[in-house]
Amino acid sequence: MLSHVTTPQDLDDRFRETLAALPAAVRRRDPADPVSDDAPLTGAQVLDLFDAQVTSRQLDLAGRWLRGFGEGFYTIGSAGHEGNAAVAAALRPTDPALLHYRSGAFYCVRAAQAAADSAATVGSAATADPKPSGSVPSGSVPSGSVPSGSVPSGSVLTGSVLSGSVPADFERSESRPTDREATDPEATDPESTGREATERDPAGSASAVGGFAAYEDAARDVLRGMVASSQEPIAGGRHKVFGRADLAIVPTTSTIASHLPRAVGMGLAVERLRRLDSVGRRTGAGVRVGGGAGPASVPWPPDAIVVCSFGDASVNHATATAAFNTAGWYDHAGLRIPVLFVCEDNGLGISVRSPEGWVEATLRAKPGIRYFSADGADPVQTYAVAAEAAAWVRRNRRPAVLHLRTVRLMGHAGADAESAYRSTAELAEELDRDPVAATARLLVDAGVATGEELLARYDETGWQVRRLAEEVLGEPKLGSAADVVSALAPRRPVRVARAVADAAARASGPGAGARVEAFGGKPPELAGPMSLAQSINAALADGMLDHPQMAIFGEDVAAKGGVYGVTKGLRDRFGAARVFDTLLDETSVLGLGLGAGLAGMLPVPEIQYLAYLHNAEDQLRGEAATMQFFSRGAFRNPMVVRVAGLAYQEGFGGHFHNDNSVAVLRDVPGLVVAVPARPDDAAPMLRTCLASAAVDGSVCVFVEPIALYHTRDLYAEGDGEWLAAYPEPGAWVSGHVPIGRARVYRVGSADDLTIITFGNGVRMSLRAAAVLAEEGVGIRVVDLRWLAPLPVADIIRESSATGRVLVVDETRRSGGVGEGVIAALVDAGYVGAARRVAGVDSFVPLGPAARHVLVSAEAITDGARTLLAR
């Protein structure tokens, strides 16, 4: 059956014709020698790159074959972009990578690097003395560097994946010493470096295990993704992505660069964590990263750099612009962000051309970002420039971009008919720039191999890839909705409650002295009744004390303490490294949080107003909420996003400062949405969110009603009944508020009517309930507290108790929270009476006009009377 697989015929035929036409070199070259004069790669190393490129190419062909009979579900391939194999070779296997969807060759090289590095580590462990504490993982130390003068200082060959002996004249790079060099004098000895390269290379090289064998595991990974196999190693059949925790490849599903802000956040966090003292790391309070467990840890070596690839069309996207601007902004401010952006430029965004010279001009113009460029069809140049760029970023801890010129072969994806927008001559020219053929031409011209030999490798890889494709076809798919959502957002309420209890024990025990000192000698429980804003402030401070890697950041949160004073004094207590202002861009604020969480921090970003969140919502939907889903929990981005929101600020704003729309948040699977109304709920709910983020990797949005920040009174002016005392640590356990549990207020007999509400509606409903109580009506007011997940059990129980339900929803009638409450009642078979009082489907106008479209206590009272009259 497989002998007839030749699709797409033209690319395969052209490659065969090219190799058949290559004249043999006059003399054969020793593969251990540089492939050309002054080249940074040996012939054997280029042969390894060729094998990786061919594996990627055959995977693309297999994807089209699988799609041809309905067994493959993803055909965006890497054909034409195989030059990124040399980029992977220039990096260390411990450098975290967020990869563009045309990164098949990069993935193959990284997988082989990691396997060779692991084999070398196992081998050395059996024969060598233990490495000194503080040494970085094997593979973070270069096994040799390039000939003096051929590639700028700092570039390295990593992992021994690229096979062949290191030439005798290779010298160690001039880059900043690694941790191993700092602790092991022998590591800086050129002779010992040469020994390490010689000893590790035969055991770890791709050639030593035989051509395709080095890339077989990577090929199987990719094929499993194509057929949606539940055994695919990262997403488990949920999507075809490039990702594996052991390869330091973070899965991204982005096609439009929405992962770039996360990369900037990762770079910032990697550098911040690198600077933390060892005590801070050792005493981390349970912030888990990657797939590990236990105390906080940094998942990558201290001198790691972040690599992030994307396409040329994505340069124009708002998220890319935000990421570049943020990286440059921080660089200009003197903060280090070690990120290498890799723009793979094939000149097209599906069918839309990038104007000639636009991408280069755009990338060169980015302030604070160093520009490098290379031709992806030239593996030697690509490796040399990528090594130079990576070394520059690693040494200087600053951002750079590598502009890699590529071509796109076989169209954008499956049914894309390129003839509709590209001429025959242009397509032929692209085929002439095939990077795999270019690598083959280099090998033949250098005398490393003949065209016939390379074609044999190509065919053998093709057979092996088709064999694997047939194997994975029989693997199981996800079999149920439960299977699909199992990795979405784990909830372990018992562990979260235990984390809160542990925090309480630390605050009242070994951390009591530091806590008193942090609060200036007067802990908040002794400060008397507090407002909502004051309670949140105190809870944030307690969170900072308990989570050493927690950071608070956003617009105006540091020196000013937030526009409403909620973060006032926190920078003075915990320092500018943990409480800091960001630039004015919500996408970047959330991107910093995403990257920081992935790198091992516990980020608490603030979005200044709810309306501004909509500018950047995809960072929550497409990036934050999908991370555990598409990695089966191998990667997480724990985060608690504080958002000042909702309406009722008559003295300030209009709709941007009085936004009452949360529908976009409630629609995101797995997202936790909390809305505290009372001071005595705010602190425990915030503690729960922090604990859930730390324990389960949850992404929580903490919506704080602006109009209630400084509210003091409930029924009458001066009564102070909206204030509440801050609980001492000994009361944190009894006052714990689990995610998805409501709070119930009983007024009078509480037998006649149930009001279900949240946020500002709680205060208004309690006022309405007091009026109705004077008329002999017993009310129970249910504060949802959590808008996602809704406290469905509490809703059903409290509604059934009276048989009459009034839903008070300060958001809009269409798409508002009330729709979800009513739906929950219907789904549960509730048969009593129900009615809604909700905001009008309108933006909130300025001043007193807002009263015409927002819910009022009077409207609640009238709605209740109408319901009671039925």
Residue 850, phi then psi, degrees to nearest 5: -60, -30
Residue 44, phi then psi, degrees to nearest 5: -65, -35
CB-based contacts of 422: which residues, under 8 Å, 6+ apart? Answer: none
User: What stretches of 184-294 adopt beta strand conformation (E)?
Assistant: 249-250
Q: If you ran DSSP here, which 8-state letter would residue 724 be given? A: B
Taking alpha carbons only, the member of 374, 356, 66 closest to residue 226 is 66
Dump pLDDT digits (tens) for 76-110: 888 889 999 999 999 999 999 999 989 999 999 99
pLDDT score, position 386: 98
CB-based contacts of 447: which residues, under 8 Å, 6+ apart? Answer: 24, 25, 26, 27, 28, 29, 43
Which residues, in sequence order, are bridge partners of residue 644?
704
pLDDT score, position 410: 80
Indicate which residue of 657, 710, 736, 852 is catalytic.
657
Low-confidence ranges of the chain (pLDDT < 70): 1-8, 120-210, 254-255, 276-298, 651, 653
Could you confirm whether 657 is annotated as catalytic? Answer: yes
| Euclidean distance between CA atoms 185 and 181, whole angstroms | 6
Specify whether the backbone of 170 is left (phi greater than 0), alpha (psi in -120 to 50) or beta.
beta
The tokens of 8 are what? 């797409």
CB-based contacts of 698: which residues, under 8 Å, 6+ apart? Answer: 489, 491, 638, 672, 689, 692, 739
The burial class, CB within 10 Å (0-12 / 13-18 / 19+), for 412 is: middle
Three-state SS annotation for 338-391: CEEEEEEECCEECCEECCCCHHHHHHHCCCCCEEEEEECCCHHHHHHHHHHHHH
Render 81-105 in DSSP notation, one character per residue. Answer: -TTHHHHHHHS-TTS-EE--TT-HH
Taking alpha carbons only, the member of 857, 757, 867, 746 closest to residue 807 is 757
pLDDT score, position 656: 80
The burial class, CB within 10 Å (0-12 / 13-18 / 19+), for 123 is: middle
Question: Alpha-carbon dihedral of residues 19, 22, 23, 24, nearest 10 degrees?
Answer: -50
The tokens of 759 are what? 């946020």
Q: Note whether 707 and 760 are within 8 A (CB).
A: yes
Classified as helix, coil or strand, 421 is coil
Arithmetic mean of pLDDT over the chain: 85
Number of H helices and number of E strands within the chain? Answer: 29, 20
CA angle 527, 533, 535 (to 5 degrees): 45
pLDDT score, position 411: 78
Pairing between β-strand 786-788 and β-strand 672-674 as defined by DSSP bridges:
antiparallel
H-run or E-run covering 307: strand 306-311
pLDDT score, position 8: 65
Q: Note whether 507 and 515 are within 8 A (CB).
A: yes
| Euclidean distance between CA atoms 701 and 20, whole angstroms | 60
| Euclidean distance between CA atoms 726 and 728, whole angstroms | 7
pLDDT score, position 168: 31
Euclidean distance between the first and the last CA atom of the chain, given in angstroms as a whole number = 73
